[in-house]
Structure 1
Amino acid sequence: MQKDAELNALGEQMRAWRRDIHQHPELGFQEHRTAGLVAKLLADWAIDVHTGIGGTGVVGTIRGTGGPGPSLGLRADMDALPMTEKGSVEHRSTHDNIFHGCGHDGHTAILLGVAKYLSSHRTFCGTVHLIFQPAEETLRGGSEMIRDGLFERFPCDEIYALHNNNALPAGKIGVRAGAILSACDLFRISIKGIGSHAAMPHKSIDPLIVGTTVVQSIQSIVSRNIDPLDTAVVSVCKFIAGTAINVIADTAVLEGTVRTLSAAAQALTLARLRDICEGTARMYGCEVRFEHLQSSPPTVNTVDETEYVRRAAERVLGAENVIVDVAPLMASEDFAFMLQQRPGSYFFLGHGGLTCHHPEFDFDDDTSPTGAAVFIEIVRQRLG
């Protein structure tokens, strides 16, 4: 079956909504204008609207006219990134150092297109909850909505989400059962040594030497501790020490991130980080303190729900345009918290253009009807 002609006609509206949101980006938990736009449009279409969930989250509820049935959750993220847009598109960001460089403006527009379509096609059994989530980039918005009673107030038997991915050609969908995105753990390592004159290093415990030992030791975690058939990435991205060219500092701070595709690799990597810090402290006779700043799990799709996405995408696009067992990404996503609560699936929408987080990124509006059509076909198949 080809994409619904009516949905294709919605393409221009999705493009307009997306570009308006792109021009007015908002950071996590500050999506007041975006949430207001979403709520107004949902209300205009006679959809039950609930705002302020998990901060700035919005949920629209559509009940089918066919009677009782399952409840589905469809989720989109609304927040932008704290970075400067360097592209020259006419709809570029009007706010300094805030930019929709990941595609959340497109995700929001797609779910709005789904909402408008379903608002006039309610002959299904059950309920659809349209979940517009704040603060995905902080990996905190999803868990805040859950903490605010998302699934108690809006019960979902299954949940689904998508993300643009330029590793796939536009017009294709990628599905994968199991882990499709990595866990994310942020850490800080604080070293307290003894400062000294640069010409008298024997009187110091140099935190730079201690820190470089830690950084080098960390490289052994992936190469010697993680199963070669599993996946992990450990990156130290900040190393701060010293104030003068001729003074050995007394402190240093390292910060970085861990990405893993399994809970086992996640736990082992964090345990080895702690071990390395404790061992280095004993070796040098100083304080090396490990702080686990933030954690999110891998994004793990359930088998049955991923099969539903595959069937829906194949019906919309044809089997030749659906990539099964698509390669996972080592990026992270707080939809993972929702998937810990409910069975569901997160899938990739093929995308023309630059990769996410590039300063000249712009969402491929031509893909919006495809994303919306797959969501709608999931509803058709699951709710009749």
Structure 2
Amino acid sequence: MPILNRVAELLPEIVAWRRDIHAHPELGFDEHRTSAFVAERLREFGCDEIVTDFGKTGVIGVIRGERAASNAKVIGLRADMDALPIEEVTGLPYASKNNGVMHACGHDGHTAMLLGAARYLSETRNFAGTAVLIFQPAEELGVGAVAMIQDRLMDRFGIEQVFGMHAFPGLPIGTFGISQGPTMAATDEIEIRVEGHGGHPGRPHECIDSIHVGAQLIVAMQQILAQNVSPVDSAGLSFHLFHSGNTQRIIPQTAELRGSMRTLTPEVRQLIKKRVGEVVAGIAQVTGARIDLTIQDSDAVVFNHAVPTKLALHAAKDVAGENSVLETPPVMVGEDFSFMAQARPGAFIWCGNGNSAGLHNPAFDFNDEAIPYGTSYWIKLVENTLGS
């Protein structure tokens, strides 16, 4: 079916919401203005129940359908609200007004599309059961979903299935991407502190060079993927920070390294963790440095369950057409929706953002042309799943 006529009518308003949120980005658990904006819109729409400060700064909106049903269901629709600590370079009229913070991952669009669906569903209520709209904080910190679950999100509202959606740069506008099974990676944060022995570069034999030790660690850990992980298994291990020393003519005493590992199966995840520990221990023994390793679990694998995936696929095809819903392979980014899909059967879908800058890029902007498709997807998902 084409885009819903009412969604087309609402489009200028939804775009205005999106751009207002974009201009006022807030980091995880600091989304006070955004949460207030969302809650005020939900009140205007006449949602049956609105809960603020849920999972610290999250917002819940509940809309009950008016169609009769012998066994009414409850589903959750989730959008994330937080921004990233990135300086925006788009130069757009609605660019971030908060220095060093921007919506570089499309959460402004996610929030606006779910608000648009809330507006429509509150007006029509052409479904049975209950739609629970979840406006989640702190996705970029990997802890917002957990905070909401700890506030008894699933039990308090009786959610039986949960659904998420995310903009996807490079996927054409008007298309969706989804597949059953693992769809996004588990991410684990790696922190390493090297304690060597600083000294004069003219007497290196009296030192333990922390830069040299750190370099050995990085090279050796890349070999883990090449030599220990099967070529048919997806995995990633990269370092994002390497800091040692602050001046010339001194071999530095310490070095700090931070990175992440990304995997799609528990077996590969545990294998890489084990090998990282063994590499650290071996290089510490060879070099004489003290090396402290911390591996912090972050997002789990986002796993699309069979029944919710079929429901999401059906709704997407209703909106975009049979040939515009693609089977997408897993991607090695993390998403804390994973914890919601562990708590209840769930499905996560990609919404095409067209030829835009990539996610987490200072030139990224959510494409407003995607709004009618994402908003209509949410509506059809509710009306199809809670049809009777």
Say whether the fold is shared (TM-score over 0.5).
Answer: yes
Structure 2 residue runs of 5 or longer lacking an equivalent are none
CA distance in 2, matches of 1:64, 1:304: 22
CA distance in 2, matches of 1:243, 1:168: 43
Deviation per residue, 1:157-190 (Å, 9 max, x gap): 1111111112211110111111111111111111
Does 2:200 align with 1:207?
A: no
Which residue number corresponds to residue 153 of structure 1? 156
Does 2:50 align with 1:49?
A: yes
Does 2:371 align with 1:374?
A: no
1:215-254 correspondence runs (5 A): 215-254=218-257
Shift of 1:209: 2.0
Name which of 282, 303, 323 aligns with 2:306.
303
Amino acid at match of 2:11: G
Shift of 1:278: 1.1
1:60-139 correspondence runs (5 A): 60-67=61-68, 68-139=71-142
Deviation per residue, 1:114-140 (Å, 9 max, x gap): 100110121322111000000111111
Deviation per residue, 1:210-253 (Å, 9 max, x gap): 22211111011111111211111111121111233222222111
Which residue number corresponds to residue 16 of structure 2? 16
Amino acid at match of 1:4: L
**Aligned residue-pair number:** 383
Q: Is the 8 A contact 1:10 1:369 kept in 2?
A: no
Question: Alignment RMSD, CA only?
Answer: 1.3
Name which of 264, 275, 300 aligns with 1:272.
275
Which residue number corresponds to residue 2 of structure 1? 2
Q: Is the 8 A contact 1:263 1:297 kept in 2?
A: no
Q: Is the 8 A contact 2:191 2:258 kept in 1?
A: yes
Deviation per residue, 1:321-348 (Å, 9 max, x gap): 1102x12221111111111111111000
Deviation per residue, 1:307-332 (Å, 9 max, x gap): 111111112221011102x1222111
CA distance in 2, matches of 1:375, 1:98: 28
CA distance in 2, matches of 1:236, 1:355: 20
> Which range moved further: 76-85 or 199-208?
199-208
Identity level (%) = 39
> Which range moved further: 109-118 or 92-101?
92-101
Which residue number corresponds to residue 34 of structure 1? 34
CA distance in 1, matches of 2:73, 2:126: 14
CA distance in 2, matches of 1:218, 1:240: 17
CA distance in 2, matches of 1:374, 1:237: 36
Q: Is the 8 A contact 2:29 2:138 kept in 1?
A: yes
Structure 1 residue runs of 5 or longer lacking an equivalent are none
Deviation per residue, 1:42-67 (Å, 9 max, x gap): 11122110010111000000112234
